[in-house]
Structure 1
């Protein structure tokens, strides 16, 4: 996908480093850095720089919508996925008679707003079995009181990729009043998205999208816009922020636009505009075709070492396993300049388009040696 020369030209810091931790932090390409420099240049113009700032926002909205399969009016930006989920809670305003379904493979940001609600809805947990979510186990959790089903397309925890169609069809059949929210943070920019029919898509910007911190992506199809309009205060998302009646009422824009409650984080969107266009030029299908065999090779390799992954790999960029020696293994891998994620007894590797077979071979070679020693 990338030649050795273009890889090192666009990702110069990868020289001499085996980086397998994109699920936590990406290595942005050179083009992302150039976009940040462009923001600084435009910022030096003061108020006149805002013309360029807002042009970048609209350019970012355009490429994001294209990659999500949405219209530009159905895409907006906030500061992070945590803010997006709290704004989602503001939109729904659920009460104690309502029910929300979450999974035990979700990131906390997609779960905790319902635990912090002043009038908590009933929270039901769809538990994974052997690291995977089976739609047949979801049925008993759904009913007419279910107002939201929150899932991740790819789990940050173990890399499980949800089987979308059986999940989607079951929710629509058994929970007719439910909205489907899907976190695509661990998928967007790495896998071909297959979450058609979702009511809201949410993603951060500093992982597989190759952007930086300070951005949150929201995609809401127009058909779900009325039900997903936040009740949050602010100004940027209002229709009448500076009208004469602004102290009498606050009229929000509908749907995705209501999630941009304040001034955009321009530098994050300059970066995202550049990084998504970089990914688009390479092609998400090409990235998956290049990187998927590398993850499959890593899975086969760790299994050959007697290490059982936390779930069967099924098309994500993530492979994770637990081991009582994880702390020692992580430290030893870092000493060999192999960067992976370590948390609570779990080792997680993440493979993107800039990774190579050499990265996987070296990781497995070092891991083999370490398991013999530790």
Structure 2
């Protein structure tokens, strides 16, 4: 991943293009494709295939725990981050007068459950200033009524990366709230220290280079009671087929309650393979390789006639940069024609740099972007 030889071997589809869109879709290494093929071979065994399926499930949980700083027993894997947050909403059992705090740099999955008409709580918004979140703006929002504060470790919108310890300190000092952290845009790209987080959520098809259909959930054991989802199902229940199963049910505690039905085994095979690959490369090595590319790209973007949305704060930058231009869609089309792949969501352009990216990728982006700006 970090050399031309390993990139060519493990990511052959990257040859000839500058792929800078991992924040939307990661490009999996061939090892992930092999894992999905192994799933099919195991599935062909019929019921006997459930033995290797279960082994992959356990391995995926153990690897996820390693990345999140938890134990395997503190990990659940559901179908996506959106499902995870909806189950989290069930677990909280919010009442009128309760409040939830989200940021305006968060992805909709973590904020919209609290905006549904059926939710009795009030959503309070921690707003950014010039693309950055400041803890001093969070503190006035906290109160005895605050039940949850949720924040993205790295914003999908502009790449702003929060410092978690000051947020943990503020939440603990000024409210009884739980702290949820979405690490979708961080896991696999930067080293994680998630101490103080009460709920950790991530999707699986971006930086960990796995497949769609997975939602990683981490719940520290001392928060299992607060994060036990009262959802129907069977895999998440203590005794779904016991003699009293039509009289009462009891959810497994904590993260296990987020695994409602039959595990999505193809995604689990992919998660296991993706995380194993990243562990072999080393996330610290990935960050050491990619961070200079990100900072160089940001420096050069600031010289161009675009509105850079990412704050110029190196300590608060991970793998994502974003900028606006009135003709963003046309610019994106020209970049794509030049085999430079970025994201054009709702009028902005977003660049994502992972371990398989190179200095040549950044130079190609800048060259094609300058040409596109001159043409529009």
Per-residue displacement from partner, 1:25-54 (whole Å, max 9, x unpaired)? Answer: 010000000000000000000000000000
Q: Could you tell me how far 1:371 is from its partner in structure 2?
A: 1.6
Q: Distance in 2 between matches of 1:343 and 1:274?
A: 29
Which structure 2 residue ranges, 5 or more long, are not aligned?
A: none
Tell me the equivalent position of 2:17: 17
Which structure 2 residues correspond to residues 112-191 of structure 1 after superposition, within 5 A? Answer: 112-116=112-116, 118-175=118-175, 177-191=176-190
Q: Could you tell me how far 1:195 is from its partner in structure 2?
A: 2.5
1:341 aligned counterpart, secondary structure = coil
Per-residue displacement from partner, 1:175-220 (whole Å, max 9, x unpaired)? Answer: 1x20000100000110111331100100000000100000000000
Tell me the equivalent position of 1:360: 362
**Counterpart pick for 1:370 among 358, 369, 372:** 372
Per-residue displacement from partner, 1:93-138 (whole Å, max 9, x unpaired)? Answer: 1011101001100111101111115242011000000001000011
2:306 aligned counterpart, secondary structure = coil
Tell me the equivalent position of 1:26: 26
Tell me the equivalent position of 2:63: 63
Q: Could you tell me how far 1:331 is from its partner in structure 2?
A: 0.6
Q: Could you tell me how far 1:258 is from its partner in structure 2?
A: 0.5
Two-structure CA RMSD over aligned residues (Å): 1.0
Per-residue displacement from partner, 1:9-33 (whole Å, max 9, x unpaired)? Answer: 1001001111000000010000000
Tell me the equivalent position of 1:348: 350
Contact 1:22 1:352 in 2 (8 A): yes
Tell me the equivalent position of 1:92: 92
Tell me the equivalent position of 2:250: 251
Contact 2:307 2:325 in 1 (8 A): no
Q: Distance in 1 between matches of 2:195 and 2:185?
A: 17
1:100 aligned counterpart, secondary structure = strand
Q: Distance in 2 between matches of 1:308 and 1:323?
A: 6
Per-residue displacement from partner, 1:148-194 (whole Å, max 9, x unpaired)? Answer: 0011000001111012111111111001x200001000001101113
Contact 1:103 1:127 in 2 (8 A): yes
Contact 1:105 1:155 in 2 (8 A): yes
Tell me the equivalent position of 2:288: 289
Q: Distance in 1 between matches of 2:117 and 2:256?
A: 23
Contact 1:153 1:195 in 2 (8 A): no
1:343 aligned counterpart, secondary structure = coil
Tell me the equivalent position of 1:213: 212
Tell me the equivalent position of 1:309: 308
Contact 1:77 1:215 in 2 (8 A): yes
Q: Distance in 2 between matches of 1:33 and 1:219?
A: 26
1:39 aligned counterpart, secondary structure = helix
Q: Distance in 1 between matches of 2:100 and 2:117?
A: 12
Count, aligned residues: 373
Per-residue displacement from partner, 1:232-282 (whole Å, max 9, x unpaired)? Answer: 110101111011011111011100001001010000000010000000010
Tell me the equivalent position of 2:326: 324
2:222 aligned counterpart, secondary structure = helix
Which structure 1 residue ranges, 5 or more long, are not aligned?
A: none
Tell me the equivalent position of 1:107: 107
Normalised by the size of structure 1, how large is the TM-score?
0.98
